Structure 1
Amino acid sequence: MKTKTKEIQKELEAYVDPVKRDFLPYFFKTGKGQYGEGDKFLGVVVPNTRQVAKRHKEEPFEVMADLLQSEWHECRLCALLMLVERYKKSDETGRKAIYDFYLTQTCRVNNWDLVDLSAPYIVGEYLKDKSREDLYRLADSSLLWDQRIAVVATITLIRNNDFIDTLRLSEKLLLHEHDLMRKAVGWMLREMGKRDKDLLLQFLDQYSKKMPRTMLRYSIEKLTEEERKYYMQR
């Protein structure tokens, strides 16, 4: 397994961009006390990481688990994209295995892009016709990334005109102290509002006075200028 992991890392290293290698640590806030503290970047852009992932999507879970333990951000992302690519081609049994494995690895899905590029396509897809209990377990976690997985996974449900969990999780996490979560909740409310504006306005009428400013601003981005002013002034 270690040999295969090293082989995949070497394939990623062939795409290293020195400019990106210098820029990404700043973009993903890797400084002391920041949300991505200690994360390290090879300097590989997502499309190239996805190319490698597609080539190796049939590797055993053990290889993906090994990649997820890597100090390199792109190795962890590659493992997650391998899961996403395999999920698309799997039957129900295979999808359950991928979903179950993903939930055992969430502590390594530890930056916002890793969440956003995987949770909707594994967690959200799997739960479309199933109990949403795991979303609330993740939302109750003390781990920021578990909480983000729960919220961002609902974008898949929103795209299927299923809004109840977005609303419930938004209520549950309304006063979250971390800006990344405030943005995530606001983003999901905005996406819901694209499909059901009246439902978004009802939520805002009830909660806009309590919502953190960042969450509110994200949620109202697609409203009219007059509506945005109204809710910001509240």
Structure 2
Amino acid sequence: MGTLKRFNIKQLADTHQVTHVIETGFGRGASSRYSIDCGMQVLSCEIYTPLYDAAPDWPALQLFNHDSLTFLGQQAVREVINSTRTLIFLDAHFPGADFQFEAYDSDNYDEETRLPLIGEMALLQDNAANALIIIDDTRVYLRNAYRALSTDLLGEPPADREQAFLLALGQFQKTHKIQFLQQDTGYAILWPRRWGEFALPKNILAGDLTQNFILQSEVPGTTCMSINRRLLDARFSLR
């Protein structure tokens, strides 16, 4: 399960005037809360009723008790996509499973409800030219992502699911630049071409083990003092 906390959307809002986040899986509200804290208005949905009933009442949140396809067809959602710069986080799959309410292979929902991403992309392909789209959990759709992320979630994606996902991505080529990130459970980023060069800053999160070490000079504090003290110590290299 990925999260919008992976991305610095406050900086995105400041530099690209993004005002709204549309999210297709509220869960317990972590990504919505983060978006609101970054100054965004949020529209989200939660199909799993116990999670929907437990959701907090935040003024900047509009929450719908719908499946994601019904949610994306709502007039309020379509108006936001058509009239503002929007971040769309496609995070809907396996209702209730990420929070141990249901099994990932539960037969309580049909296949389109459990894995609605291809339908979501079809709904968006003709009216999302001014929206940044972040797709979570590419391990569920791409075999390379599944292997790289070493997950046993439902096993390796079948070839037909991967093919359908790649074909759906291809429908966005004229309006978006596409990049893949391997952090967390894998992301596909669809960056609107009309926004110019790709500029979605990532955050370093607790537990990240593969980030490059960066030494930044002229930062006051103990680190800066320690480095200067050792540089001035002629015997330091001998110890």
**Smaller-chain TM-score bracket:** 0.3 to 0.5
Q: Which has the higher helix share?
A: 1
More strand by proportion, 1 or 2? 2
Pair member with larger Rg: 2
TM-score (norm 2): 0.35
**TM-score, normalised by the number of residues in structure 1:** 0.35
